[in-house]
Structures are given as C-alpha cells and as structure tokens.
Structure 1
Amino acid sequence: MRTSGAGPLLTALSLGAAAAAALAFTGVVGPPRTATTAATATTSTTTSKPSVHRPLDPAAVDDSLRYLVQTFGVDRAEALRRLELQQDAVRLDAVLREKASAAYGGMWVDHDAGGVLVVAATGQAGVEPHLDLLPSRQHVRVQPVARSLADLTAVRDRIAAKVGTGPEAAHLPAISEPENRVVLWARTWVANRITPLSARAQLAENARQAVAAEGEAAVARNLPEPRTSAQLSAGPTACGPLACAAPMRGGMRLDIRRDNGTRGGCTSGFNLRSTGGQHDGRAWVLTAGHCTVGKTNNRPVQHNGAEVLQQHGIEENSYPYDYAALPYAGDAATAWLESAPRRNLVLGSKEEPITGTHALTDIKAGWVVCAAGSASSAADFPDSVDSGAGAGYSPGTRCGRVLSTDVGINTDICARAGDSGGPLFNQADHTALGILEGSQQARTGACQPDERNNYVPISTVLGELDARGQGSTFAVITAPNG
C-alpha cells in the first residue's frame, strides 16, 4: 500500500520471480548524461596494448571496500581489485557496445564466484579481442547467449511501441542481461486504475500479444508494488542527516507537513539545476514523489526547523516514476545553495562529491554502491521526531550490491522508514544512480540479513523532468559551483 507522508516501512523492492531465477539487468533509458560515465579506451605510453584500467584511491572508496570485506570475507587488497574491475567494466561496456555490438550481450559482476566479470556474447570471437583492455583478463568469463544486446534493445523497443511507456503505462518492458531476454513488467496497481474494465482487458491482451510475438526473447512478469514511507527524525549532530547547515546535500532530512497538521518527511536525494525554457537557472532538490503528492496545505518543507523548499514542484508517484523536484522556497535558494560552495555533495561517513550520473543502461548487477538516509528512532535520538525506523537503526550511509535491475535498481542495502528519496551513488566514480523508493519488506530496527530495497533510476527522473519542464533541461548539480 502506498502512503504519502506517513505509512509503512520504506525500504526495498522484492526481486520476485525474476531474481529468484537470475540476476536481472535492464536498460530502459538513454546513454549517460555526463562525461564522467563515458567509457573510452586509451593507449598506454609505454606499450601498444590499450587499457581501460583506472586505479582507485582506497581512502576515497572506504565504505565500499568495507562492505566487500565484511560481506565476502576478503582482504582490502582483494576488495580493491573487485571495485577497480567494476569501474574498468564501465569503460569496457562502452567499447563493446561500439565495436562488438553484433556479439555483445551485456555484463555483470559475480562476487559469489570470486569477483569475476561475466561478459555475455553470441560468440566469444566477437568480444575476445576487446577483453585484453582489462589488466586482469583471468577475472573475466565469457558466457554464451543467443541474442546480442542490440537484438534485445530492438525487442524491447518493439514491445514498448505496442504497450506504451511512462507513468500511466500498465506494462513496462526492460532488458534482463543475465537472462538474455526482455521482461514485460506488469504494474497491476496502475492497471487497476484504468476504467472501463474493457479498456483494462484490452491493454492486457495487447501485452500478451506483444510478448508472444517475440517468442523466447521475451517473457511477462508481475512487478510488485513497493511499500513506501515518508517519515523523518531530527537530531543534534553538527552536520549530519538530521541537522546540517548550507548547502543542501543528498541524505539530509526533509520535514514535510501533513494535512492533519503533523509532520513527517523524507530524505533529500540530489541538488538539481534546470537550464533554458520556463525554469532557466532554477535550483531544485530531488526526493521521492510519494513524499509530497496528495498534500494540500502547501506549507514549506523544513530541515531542522528551517523552511527550505516549496511543498510541491514537478512530481509524480507511479513507480518507477516516483520523484519530486522541489524548488527552493522564497529566498531559501540563496541561503541554502547559491551562497554556499560545494553544491554537489551527498552525506556519507564523509561528504561525497557527485561529479556525474549513470543511466540505468550502465548499471550492472554486482556493482557495489552506497546510499544515504535520515531514518532514525526516538529511542536512539530522544531529541528527534521518531521516523518509525525502530530502535537500533541510525541515519547515515550504507553500502551494498546491485542485485538486479528491472525498471528500477534493486539492492541489498539496508534502509528504514524515513530514508525515502535518499541518494544512491557510486562511490568509486562519484556518480548519481537513483533515489530510494520502497520495498516488499516490513522491517524496523537494526539491519538484518537479506535486506532488499529498490531505487528510482536518476536517468528515468531526468528524462521525465525534461519532458515536463516547459522547455527546460534538468541535470544533477555535478560541480561545486554548479
């Protein structure tokens, strides 16, 4: 059941039948929005062999390394190798898409098999020459598949043309790279709003025929509706999720007034800037749409008692189109962003600069990623408003794996009520990936094994904002003075 401003736990989307069979990866949006995600091979100055390798500073990715060490029992050197392989694979993916498109079927990182990169291909000869771009070829495995990624993209596009796409579509197609097929995800909670019943039945029949026309290349599955929640706490820290000064950062509390006079809220995701059109030069804060949709009191959104944002902006609540771009209230943009340096931060165990974004098509199963949130309990933070997180859960940053992608990003990162809208980011290359949506779990308190949550892709949000922005183009702020 969805909530707006209060409700059950906000954590993660169940992987469902798809992930029980395999890790599912999809691409439903375009290429990366910034240069930081472009992958190009470079030529070494000391050898003719090209390389995509870029070493990482261990201190800059400490949270991600700690996750790998604790989860897989490896030492920090092995954890660093795996994280560097993940980042090298981002660049390799772009090379294979360009130079081996007839054979390349996608890729993912398999940590359970020892931290190997699995490259899917219709024929090994088509991709093999490019695998030497990696310095650790011994950690790459080629898996034979029937269809290339280009073939799957064509299948997805044909299905989308028949069933539609967007916030009001009852069915959304997505590529599953590990399964080497397209999954048509049925959003029954959206279909149930469609009247008359005959129209709903016709949409279902169109979807059935669209999948059947593709044979073994496509399959239909139900997408469970995420459980969402929007409640927050406040706290005494000098600069943390519960109380901080300018600039606004991803991971900070957003306290939102309900129509009954109480306050609940969510977590800030990323600072945005719009250029051109109706909103040229305007600054926004991104959070989850279910935090604000349906409220009518129009009272400003607060952080630690200070009025920061308008309650409404450009918003939608129809996962994976669950977002709210909220403009700053009155003169708050000057106080909370424009007058402050380092406007591209998210909170973590240290402040993380965001310097780019990744499209959903870039994000692979097995990636190690991190998330920030502001959920807490009055039992642990007695001076705060209880968010419903439960005793034993503290706000802050946690890291984990991308388990799969469908129309969203599914992870094993722990989250609780009050973390809604918080940022998902790649610590290794400082890129924005998505914002927290919800889960099929109903957990409170300390993190437990087998946590599952899901994120709305940042590329899905930006595409929707561009379409609705009255001629304006939206982007995550990726520079200190952006």
Structure 2
Amino acid sequence: MRRSRLRHLGLAGLLVLGGLTAAGTLPASAADASSTSSSASSDREPASAGLLDAMQRDFGLSRAEAEDRLAAERDATGLEPVARRAAGTAFGGSWFDADAGELTVALTSDAAPSTVQAVRATGAQVRTVEHSARQLDAAKARVDRLDAPAGVSSWRVDHSANTVVVDVVKSERADNDVQNFLERAREAGPVTVRSVPSAPRTFAAGTVGGDPYYTGNVRCSIGFSVHGGFVTAGHCGRAGAGVSGWDRSYIGTFQGSSFPDNDYAWVSVGSGWWTVPVVLGWGTVSDQLVRGSNVAPVGASICRSGSTTHWHCGTVLAHNETVNYSDGSVVHQLTKTSVCAEPGDSGGSFISGDQAQGVTSGGWGNCSSGGETWFQPVNEILNRYGLTLHTA
C-alpha cells in the first residue's frame, strides 16, 4: 500500500494558514510541492542508510554484507562493457552472480582461446553457452512480431538460461490460442516456457478522493472520481494544465476550470490511471465508498479527506454562501462547514455518509486550533461539465 508514502508527501508539504477573519479567508489551495524535496548533499555516502536498511530487510543480509554487495555490484557495472568488448561476436550475455559477488560473462562454444583469456583478464567469470546474445535478441524480436493472447503475460531474453523465456498464466497454459502462440514462438528460436500465477497489471493508481496530485509545483487533492476523470478545485489549475499523481507519474489534463466566481475543475485521466468510487480514510476510518450525491442539510455531519491533513469531520453550517477570499477572489454558492483544512487539502473530498458533497475550496484556521472551510457543491460541477459521478 502507498499510504505511508502519501502521508509523508502530505506532511512534508504542510503550510499553516493561520487564524484569519471570515472576510480574510484564503483558498486552501495549494501547498508548494517544492517544499517536499530536500537538497542533495555533496558529501553523501555511497549508499544511504535507508538503502542499506532495505537490503538488510529484503535480502536477509547484515549491514556489512549489504555494503559488500553494493560495492561488488558497482564493480560489475563498470566491468561489463569492458568484458563485452573483449568477448566480441562470441558474447552470449552477462549477469551479476550475487552468491559469488562477481560478473559472469557467457561465451559461445566457438570462442577462440584468446577471446576466453581476454574476458577472464577483465576479472569476469566465463560460462560456455550455445547461443550468442545476438541470436537470442533476434529470436525475441521475432516473438515480438506475434500477436499474444491474454494468457501469455511476457517474454524476454534470459542470458543465464541462454534462451528466450515466455511466461504463461498457469490457468491458461492449455488454452488453444496460448498453445498456438507457443508453437510459433518456438519456431522463432530457443524458447523456454514458464508458468506464472496471474497476468501482470500496471501499478499506476486509481483516482481516489483525498489523494494528492501535482500541477507544476502545486499540490492539491482529488475530489471525486467521475467517468473519465475526477473533479477538484478550480484554483488548483487552469484548463490545459498537465497533472501528475501521488507517484509523480502523468495522470492527465485539466479539461475545464473556473475560478473565481466558482471554484471547480475537472481533470481527464489516462496513462494507466482509472477512476475509483472511493474516498480515502487515511487509516482514521476505512476508505469510504461513494454511492451518490444527495445534498446533506445544514446541521448534518460531514467529513473531509485531503492530502495534507487527511480525515477530519464537522457539521454543515450553511449553503449558498458567498466567500470573499483575502486575495480579492469572490466565490459564490459555497457550502460552509466547521471542518478544518490546510494548504494542499484544496480540491479534496467532502462526503456525508456515502454521499459526495463537494470539493474543498478554502477556509480559515488550521487543524491544530480549528477553523471553518467551504466547499463547492459537487452537483454543480457535474451539471456544469456534463459529468457522471463514479459510484459504487
């Protein structure tokens, strides 16, 4: 799960609004994303403590063993191009042998003794193989031209096995289309088939309410998923602006945006991202499903999810309020709440039960001393752009 990463991003970008009067409120806007990055140190250690800790945890190494392995990998990385040149046309591939801590270079059986000696002189270990790297690459290129059915998950050159390995989903191994693909793949060259438990998927994320997104150096929060994208605050970006997600991968583009007078926008998504009818609970509560957008009355409880201060609740204080922000921006038809917010929470989700209410616009105060926050009603945004809320 990525929530610990999100929590870090949110808190690192935190800015305090401070206590302001109602007439001097500010858009919750935006935290400057540049505040989440730190300057690199010129005298940085070769390996960070975090990297060494991760290697100890994931590889079962001691700290000294982790340091030794990193040093051996650095040596192998520098050695590989030298050994490759020494191997010439007999080169069958190379790989780092973690157990031995050395680079291994494959050479075809017809390699001249002088070639073998030259490769060993570089410090690499030598293994004799049947097929050259060039032959394996050509075989894979031929497989690339085949149309693969869904049951075939991937294929690649494996130099240590001296073959092209084709991964097939175990449950689809007997499928006729899979068998036809494998038959044609074997005609392309040396192929080994491996079973895998499931098909691969991308690890880009769904657009989840409360998650952070970035426009340039500005961080805001996703409001609600709609079919084709998500809605958020207008002051977070103008139409045509590109948007990246919590992991800094590209999400999509602002398709419409209005601020001031209104404070709403919608972003189209693509590039492996998809819409999800969920609002983050940030571990305070379970993540909340969105089932509709019925308007909560004044006095009803309401909660907000945002990428800076996460999950907070309060009550609806007023509908259709006109707000005059301290920068002179006037926004109409906002709903007032007793929920706190801070910079970076802008655009995030207001939800009552399982009903979407709106996207965070701005407010006064903070989540330490309290305050009030306004949101742009979600139904107005849906009607303005002809969008359909993604519901469970």
Larger radius of gyration: 2
Shorter-chain TM-score range: 0.3 to 0.5
Higher relative contact order (CA 8 A, sep 6+): 1
TM-score for both structures, normalised by structure 2: 0.46
The structure richer in strand per residue is 2
TM-score for both structures, normalised by structure 1: 0.37
